[in-house]
Structures are given as structure tokens and as C-alpha cells.
Structure 1
């Protein structure tokens, strides 16, 4: 190993000729002629490396890239100091028979498992235990054969690399750079298990937000089904099942979107209350709150997706048969009664204000979503990012909540909208947002806001030293 520029291994175990300048001139050996091995070999050839494949049947494979050499495992290993093991873990046993040939060489483990934590130890650690005389490096397992064939332009270029030997790790990282990839040093071989689990994760940070979103969607949809379809059918035998296609979804989407937006800011308020209560920032939050805080970005993006659906569904309202029929019936009723209903300034103001607040709220919604993109967030400093996500985020919540309040108008107190004594669905969407805004308003009172700021700067209520320093 290498520390502070000094070599920490004896001369018999040092990596031969593996300086960054000479790594490109060496032949790279690949054990395995499967899809990944062939794709990686082709990419290496295109980048100027000499490639030799090690195979159990060197005379039977005609799929290897043109320009590469194929030999038996033993013969191929003798030609290179870097050997990429592109075979599955269950076939590692044959390598023990090549221990003498492989001694002192760099073995790059690129394997993955079928499920997370499938074995007690990582594949790389298992390989190192089989061949203690080799320098094992974990790398390239996050890159697919397809990504290599397509030039890695349409897939992640990041390659996680870990090893107990610093020179071997640096040599493999240099190869990754030569292939147009971005190597990330993850330390010693103890990190191999985490690296091997990474490609097997299926949207790990999206699970909780999706579960929450699905739960609220189902509950609100069933609630609307009861009040807008079952109620007319039970009380007046009126069939309004056609509302299931557009009208009810266009109630569900904005309601769930507003609730999710409020849930983005609720954990921060709970965290502030806990810190105020305990008088310190050095006490851990409950696990459920930690998980909630970590998935706020995903919650916000799911909420934005529902807001987009609401905007799209709203645009198609005028072309619906039911809406056109209602408008025509309204006009015919005026003609038959020879009575023109005058314009109501109250409802005109209410309607225009409701629409204007919805447009503004959606605009800031989109702005929040754009700012959360890595390419955008990396271009702003922390204060700018916090201003957008916090200050403008709460402004978005205020606008969307006001939009819903104006939509309700006098229907909050209009009896016919309370079917089976159940409030209209939009009332449900206001409970959490209004609670969040009320708590936030309390927390920004100067005396509480200053105390929270001091706590987050390290002040502790029970620390005499902290009190003296402050």
C-alpha cells in the first residue's frame, strides 16, 4: 500500500511497472468471454490497449473482438499484470489452481450478485481470500455491457473503485479514465459489499415517497368515489360513473399534490420542534424522521408530477361532452325562462383570483423542480439553493393553499356539498398544509427563530461552557 507518498509493501509484492504513464502500454488480460468481457475488451482495444482473453476453451470462441488474443487461463495470465475477472462468483474455484501464476498480479473483480447481500462477504473479499497473494480491486461492476458498447454516452460514467492496495487501485482507476469513465475512490476492500449492492438497488430513495403517494391517491380516490358517484346513485338513482375518468382524477391529483408538498416541509418543522424541546442539535432524530428528511426531494418531485397531471387534465375540461352539455343546458334554461343571469363581480373576482394563484403556484412549483436537478443545484451556492428550496418553497405552499381556499369559496359552508355529512374532498387537502403553515408561522416568531438559530450553531441549553461562550 501507499501512504503519504511512501511505499508500504515489500519489493516482491509491489505492483510491477504500474505507474500511471506505463499503465496504458501494458496488455490487459480478461478472464471470461461473456457479454461484459467482450464489451470491455472491445472498449480497451479502441482505447489503445492490447487485450488477451483467458478462456477454458480458447479454440472454440469466435466472438471475441478483432485484434484481441485468446489463450488458456494460465497462458493469458502470464502476459499481463492486470487481470479482469469477468466471471460469476460460483466459478471462482478454478482460480486457486492458478495461484502460482496469479501471485503478485492485480485481479479486478467486476461481478455482481442476483440479490442484495446474497453472501456473507462481498465477491471481491471472497476472491481475495481465495488468492491471498494477489491484489484484488473491485471496479466496473456498475457499468453494463450495453453502456460499454454504446460508448457510455447514454449511461452513468461513474465507476466505484476500492482495494487494499493503493498502487493497484490507482492503476485500475487510470484504465477507467482512459475508457472515458469517471472513477470514484471508495477506499479499502471493505467497501466492496456496498459497491456490489449499488447496482441491485431499485430506486431506494423513491420507495417511501411512492408508497405515501400511492396511499393518499387510493384514499382520496375512494373518498371522491363515495361522495360523487355512490351518493347520487343511492339518493337519486343518478348515474355519475363517467366522472371516474377525468373529474375524479382531476380532484385526486391536486389534493395529493398539495398534501405531498406540505409533507416536504413538515419534517423540517418537526425537527425544529425537537431541537427546541431538547435544547441541542447533537441528539439524534428518530429513525422515521431521518428517513422522512432524506426523501423530501423525491416527495417534492412526485408532488410536482401530480401538479403537472392536474394542469393537463384541467386543460381538457372545455372539450368534454359533459361540460359542453352543461353549458348548453344552462343557456337553454335562460332562453326558456326569458331570464338573463347578471354578471356577479364576486364570483368573477373569485374565479380569476383562483386561476391566477394556481398559475403562480404552478410556476414556483416548476422552479423548485428545476432547482433540484443536479446540473442546476451544482451551479448555485448553498445560500441560493436554500433560498429557492426554503423561502420560495413556502411561498409555493402558500400560493397553492390559497388557490384551494379560493376554489372552495362559499362551498365551505354550503350544505349540499356535505354529502352524508362528509366534507368536500378539497377540504381534506387543506388540513396538513394549513397545519404546516400555522406551525411555521409560530416558529418564525423572533424569540423562537433566534433560539433555533443558536441551537443549530452549536448552543446547548445544558452546556455551561456553551452558555458562557455565547
Structure 2
């Protein structure tokens, strides 16, 4: 009896009764508890996403009782208490506030620390934030991750456009734990190796359109050059030679000349590197040698070149649509009507069939080219290109792409027609701007026609299938008897 009383007082009987009850046997295991240092926008968004996924969240704050609104269901403790309660800790504070973590080294020993910090600019510190954190707390396993996601991306998870989580770290077990967590949150994980790659990951959010710099700079340079070229020919030359002020043409007429010129050249530059790569492979006789760095960078930004070209084509179409409502056009039409009414009744205008064919062909080819232009832009969208097979995508971007370039080039040739034979179009002995715009696309189409010749096409196909040309010197150096 005394022994039974002692067992009841010690709690052994209560423990056994709970473990044997049906309710205790059916109870679900408790979810993992994760810790977040930092109660800013990123910390709150991350905590909300973790709670929605089923994790328990505890925040570590230097002011646990006055840290502002937090996601419902999360706890708030001091840094030391929060660190002791979880095995994985997110560090959502700026690097300049890392000093307090050094005092928590005993509580953070053996923990996985996920550094999500970024800097305001590149090379702000001599070492990466994650490497600095690892040096402050050598007993923990630091993993750089989630720094390339915004607070919005963390809240919306896979519904946001940015789904990738880049991570790096020196501990394989720590990286595996963070990768499993990111996968459960709905993100795809890309391991970038050891912690030495942390600086590269921290530079990712600081990049400003890296693939768009060359296309945008090129487009702005071409637009500036041709604008001043057309300005000198259409405005300055007219004012100097005739004393006539045509400066009002700058806003619409000159702009509507520059936009199609830049669009056509940019489109041809989108397909020129592929042609150059084919001829380079023909010259080398192999596909296993790297292209020059300048050609690699050029080929990587072909999509951006095409989209910028499409933007200038849209501007050309919009400016063309407003031509009928311009003040100058309305005034000329009114004067024309007055002149026609004063013509004698026995005078009739002769219908020029050749001019009709030319103008109709000019407009028709331009519309077809712009329609294919839009098709190329739509298929370059990730949501559309992911739904296409590689053969379908290649057919649209390559076959129809060259057809688009052909139609747009033909559209410009029809615009010029026989103007190159008239001396009045050569202002100060310089060719018209549309003639200069035809140089690059004509070269690209000519080189592509050479590649389409059966003898050349067969050789390029064989090279891309792995065939390599054997050097004659190597064949002559082979021993006659092996």
C-alpha cells in the first residue's frame, strides 16, 4: 500500500495511464519549432509562411513585449530563450546588428543558422555576411539561403514568379535540413556549394537587369545616332538650304523614322550571333570548343534584344496610327481639296497601278511582319514557352524568326523603292537613314541563305551531332604499322 502511494505521488501511475489511453495513442506528433531572429517585414513574412505550412514559430527579440504585430500563432521570447527552444534559427537582421549574436554563442552551439541578410551595395564588407556570421559563432552551422526572395515572395510562395531558393554552406546535414524546409514551403532549391559562394548569392539581389544592359545600351545608342542623323538630313539641311523651319517634324515624323530603324537592326542583331556561331563551328570543324566570351554574352541576351526590338516596333505602329490626325496632314488635305476643286473639268488624275501595288505590298508586308513579331514575343514568355516542346519552340523562334526578319526587311525595301536612284534624297552626300538600316539585316539574311545550302547544312548538322573534322597533319603522323 505504501509502495502504491509512493508511485501515485511520483507520477508514475499518471504517466502510464496517459500512454495507454486511446486518446494519447491517436494524438498527432507535435510540429517542429523554428526560431526567427528579427521582427521586420522579412521576418514577419517568413513566419507567416512557416505557420501556414504547419511549423511552429518562435521569434527572438530584444523587446519581446513591444515588437509590434506578428503573425497569429507565433510566440515571442528573448533571444536567448528563443535560441534554446529551436534547432534551426533564421537570422533576419542586418549585418551591422550581428554583434549581439556573439554573446549567444553558447545557446547557438550546434544549431543551424540560416542567414537571409543582404547588403545595400556590392563589396560593402571584406567578407560575405554568412562567412562573418560563421566566424562569430564557430560552433553553429551557417547556411546562406532565402536572401534572393522578397517578403512578397515568401508570403505567396509558389504563386509568385520567383520560386528558386539558392543556398550554400559547409555542412551537408545543415544544407539538407534547409533544403527540405524550402521544398516543403513550395520552393525549388538550388545548391551552390560551400559557404564561399555566399558573396555571389548576396550579390544576386543587387543586380539591376544584368541581361538587359547590353540590349538597352545598344538600343539607346542606335536611337541617339539615327535621331541626330535624321535631324541633320530632314531639319538642319532644309533650314540651311531652303530657309524653311521643319522643326515640328521632330516629335512625330523623325521619331517614326528612328523607331523602325532601331527595331529592324535590333531584330537582325538577335539572329546574327547564331549565324556567326554556325560559321565558327564550320571553320573549326567541331562543336566542342568554346565560343569567344563576347559571342557567349551576345547569345545569352538574344531574348532581350528581340523584346527591345518588339518594343520599338510597337512604338512605330502607334506613331503610324496617329498620322491621319496630325495638324500638318489635315492642313495638306484641306489645301489639296481646294486645289482639286479649281482644276478644269477636262483634267483627270491618272491612276498609277505600279504605285498602288507598291503601297499595298508595303503595308501588307509590314502587317505580316508585325504579326509574326508579336508571335515571337508571346512565345518568349516563360508561361508560354514552358507549354511548348523544344521542337515547337525552336520552330517559332528560329524558322518564323527569320521569316519575321525577312518580312520586316522587305517592308523597308518597299519603303525605299527607287529612292536610292534620286539625288534629292542624298542630303549633303549622305544616304537616307533607311538605307543604312538595311545593311545588317541584309547581311544576316544572306549569311543564313548560305547556311541553308544543302552541302553547308549537312556539314553543320553533322558537327552539331558530334562529328569532328580530323586534321590532315594528324592523319599523316599516324604510324603505318601499329
Alignment of 1:272 onto 2:289: no
Structure 2 equivalent of residue 416 of structure 1: 424
- Name the CA distance, whole Å, in 2 between partners of 1:23 and 1:228: 80
- Name the CA distance, whole Å, in 1 between partners of 2:306 and 2:379: 11
Structure 1 equivalent of residue 458 of structure 2: 450
Structure 1 equivalent of residue 127 of structure 2: 121
Long gaps (5+) in structure 1 = 1-21
Structure 1 equivalent of residue 359 of structure 2: 351
Q: Bigger shift: 55-64 or 102-111?
A: 55-64
- Name the CA distance, whole Å, in 2 between partners of 1:131 and 1:466: 59
Alpha-carbon distance change, 24 to 432 in structure 1, aligned in 2, over 3 angstroms: farther
Question: Alpha-carbon deviations, 1:381-409, whole Å to 9, x = none?
Answer: 22222111111111111111111111111
- What's the offset of the Cα at 1:263? 0.5
Alpha-carbon distance change, 466 to 299 in structure 1, aligned in 2, over 3 angstroms: farther
TM-score (norm 1): 0.89
Select the residue among 228, 232, 242 that pairs with 2:248: 242
Alpha-carbon distance change, 146 to 374 in structure 1, aligned in 2, over 3 angstroms: closer
Structure 2 equivalent of residue 176 of structure 1: 182
Q: Bigger shift: 94-103 or 22-31?
A: 22-31
Structure 1 equivalent of residue 239 of structure 2: 233
Question: Alpha-carbon deviations, 1:4-27, whole Å to 9, x = none?
Answer: xxxxxxxxxxxxxxxxxx998121
Long gaps (5+) in structure 2 = 1-27, 476-482
Alignment of 1:382 onto 2:390: yes
Structure 2 equivalent of residue 204 of structure 1: 210
- Name the CA distance, whole Å, in 2 between partners of 1:151 and 1:176: 10
Question: Alpha-carbon deviations, 1:26-68, whole Å to 9, x = none?
Answer: 2111112222222322333344332222122334423334433
- The alignment partner of 1:434 has SS state of helix
- What's the offset of the Cα at 1:432? 0.7
Q: Indicate if the aligned counterparts of 1:24 and 1:49 stay in contact, CA closer than 8 A.
A: no
Structure 2 equivalent of residue 393 of structure 1: 401
- Name the CA distance, whole Å, in 2 between partners of 1:168 and 1:464: 55
- The alignment partner of 2:113 has SS state of strand
Structure 2 equivalent of residue 373 of structure 1: 381
Structure 2 equivalent of residue 94 of structure 1: 100
Alignment of 1:406 onto 2:406: no
- What's the offset of the Cα at 1:377? 1.5
- Cα RMSD over matched residues? 2.4
Select the residue among 106, 109, 114 that pairs with 1:103: 109
Q: Indicate if the aligned counterparts of 1:304 and 1:366 stay in contact, CA closer than 8 A.
A: yes
- What's the offset of the Cα at 1:116? 2.7
- Name the CA distance, whole Å, in 1 between partners of 2:468 and 2:203: 39
- The alignment partner of 1:137 has SS state of strand
- What's the offset of the Cα at 1:177? 4.0
Select the residue among 134, 137, 146 that pairs with 1:131: 137
Greater length-normalized contact order (CA 8 Å, ≥ 6 residues apart): 1
Select the residue among 448, 470, 479 that pairs with 1:462: 470
Q: Indicate if the aligned counterparts of 2:157 and 2:163 stay in contact, CA closer than 8 A.
A: no
Alignment of 1:157 onto 2:163: yes
- What's the offset of the Cα at 1:80? 0.6
Alpha-carbon distance change, 423 to 283 in structure 1, aligned in 2, over 3 angstroms: same
Aligned length: 447
Structure 2 equivalent of residue 283 of structure 1: 289
Q: Bigger shift: 214-223 or 45-54?
A: 45-54
- Name the CA distance, whole Å, in 2 between partners of 1:287 and 1:62: 51
TM-score (norm 2): 0.86
Structure 2 equivalent of residue 341 of structure 1: 349
Q: Indicate if the aligned counterparts of 1:29 and 1:54 stay in contact, CA closer than 8 A.
A: yes
Q: Bigger shift: 276-285 or 80-89?
A: 276-285
- The alignment partner of 2:89 has SS state of strand
Select the residue among 186, 192, 215 that pairs with 2:198: 192
Select the residue among 364, 369, 378 that pairs with 1:361: 369
Alignment of 1:41 onto 2:53: no
What are the within-5 Å matches in structure 2 for residues 316-331 of structure 1?
316-331=322-337
Alpha-carbon distance change, 142 to 23 in structure 1, aligned in 2, over 3 angstroms: farther
What are the within-5 Å matches in structure 2 for residues 245-264 of structure 1?
245-264=251-270
- The alignment partner of 1:248 has SS state of helix
Select the residue among 142, 151, 155 that pairs with 1:145: 151
